[in-house]
Amino acid sequence: MSAVVRASGLVKRWGDTTALAGVSVEVGTGVTGLLGANGAGKTTLLGLVLGLHRPDEGSIEVLGLDPATAGPQVRERLGYVPEHEALTPDVRAFDLVRHLAEVHGLPSREATGRASDALWLVGLGEERQRPVGTMSTGQRQRVKLAAALAHDPALLLLDEPTNGLDPVQRDEMLGLVRRVSAELGIDVVLSSHLLEEVERTCDATVILAEGRVVASGSLAALRAGGTGLVVEVDGRAELLATHLRRTDLGVEVDGLRLVVEGPPEAGADAVRDAAAAHRVGLRRVQARTATLEDVFLAAERSCVAESHLPGLTDARTEER
């Protein structure tokens, strides 16, 4: 997998606050989710990718260049959709998108044609002559996407692109993001604090917590981290659970569904034997797959646990 963003040991401090505390990560092709709670360091990382700030320590490479020293060359190949409203309301959508395409280096004639194409792509072809201020939140969000696409970026950075959108608009926006990657071949980094959004849209994810990468990789690889079995029965779930616990297996019961901890092979034999002995009907026995939520929560838990280690706490206190 070729990396479009490669960061090593990135540290960024804002005064006494450490926004990024040694981030090392590789972002590959396709759609990559940048996942983390508010304040996890997502926006700071995007700022470093854009070359808006210099890291205090570490290095970053975007599209093979260092954005701190080759900022203009990097940024002319990046598209950026900021989290907040960022459009002058009395300018027509077409004028704005064309202007931003020119600002990204396109000759005027090309910018004119491509602004129109980008607005049609995001579904605003008929609305392109309307002032941005007269548009709905969803339409303005799509204008921002069109403005980020018109100059044909190699990498698109989306900072919370579904903020303020209703469920239908959100679906449309995420569908557009998938299309941009799948049909146009533009790599995307989607920053979000919504697990479901990343799970639906992304090929890979980077999970940030307290300025550190706590997990990263393809969604398939991250989900494979789940162990144990999911068992569905047609009754007497508690009886089966009690019997399984006697064989030293950890079991959680949720209605007619049991989650059995431990290696799937050993668990499956024990479940089969216990179900046969107590005449419990099995509907489904399946190896357990972690959801992104499981991965995220586990990563957050490990981050909190680490931050409570005495040595680490001292070190971080000194750092701040």
Partner 1 sequence: MSDARILDRGYRRYDGPRLGVAGAVRSLAWHSALRALGLRRSVWAKLLPLAAVGIAYVPATVFVGVAALLPEQLVDATGLLPGYADYYGFISAAIVLFVALVGPEVLCPDRRHRMLGLYLASPLSRDSYLVAKVLAVVPVLALVTLGPPLLLLVGFTFADAGPDGAGELLGILARIVAGGVVVAAAYTAVSLAASSLTDRRAVASAGIILVLLVSGVATGALVASGADERLLLLNLSVVPFELVQRLYGEAGQVEVSTLALVAANLAWTLAAAALLRARYHRLRITR
Tell me which residues touch partner 1 (CB under 8 A): 43-44, 47, 50, 52, 71-73, 75-76, 78, 80, 82-92, 95, 99-100, 102-108, 110, 113-114, 117-118, 120-121, 147, 149, 151-152, 157, 159, 184-185
Using a 10 angstrom Cβ sphere, with 0-12 exposed, 13-18 middle and 19 or more buried, the burial of residue 190 is buried
d(CA 79, CA 143): 13
Tell me whether residue 254 is exposed, middle or buried, using C-beta atoms within 10 angstroms of its C-beta: 0 to 12, 13 to 18, 19 or more.
exposed
Residue type, 8: S
Cα distance between residue 157 and residue 263, in whole Å: 40
In the bound state with partner 1, the residue whose beta carbon lies nearer, of 157 and 295, is 157
Shortest gap between Cβ of 180 and partner 1 (angstroms)?
9
* Nearer of residues 37 and 256 to partner 1, judged by Cβ: 37
Cβ contacts of 298-306, under 8 Å, gap ≥ 24? 298/225, 299/207, 299/209, 299/214, 299/215, 300/37, 300/209, 300/214, 302/214, 303/209, 303/210, 303/212, 303/214
Distance CA(190)–CA(186), nearest Å, equals: 12
**In whole angstroms, how close is the CB of 99 to partner 1 at the nearest point?**
5
CA distance between the termini of the chain: 36
Q: Minimum distance from CB of 242 to partner 1 (Å)? A: 54
Task: Tell me the closest approach of the beta carbon of residue 204 to partner 1, in angstroms.
Answer: 23
For partner 1, the closer CB: 110 or 232: 110
Compare residues 89 and 281 and give the one whose CB is closer to partner 1.
89
d(CA 234, CA 255): 10
Q: Taking the complex as a whole, how short is the minimal distance between the CB of residue 21 and partner 1, in angstroms?
A: 17
- Minimum distance from CB of 84 to partner 1 (Å)? 6
Decide whether 40 or 147 has the Cβ nearer to partner 1.
Answer: 147
Nearer CB in complex with partner 1: 132/244: 132
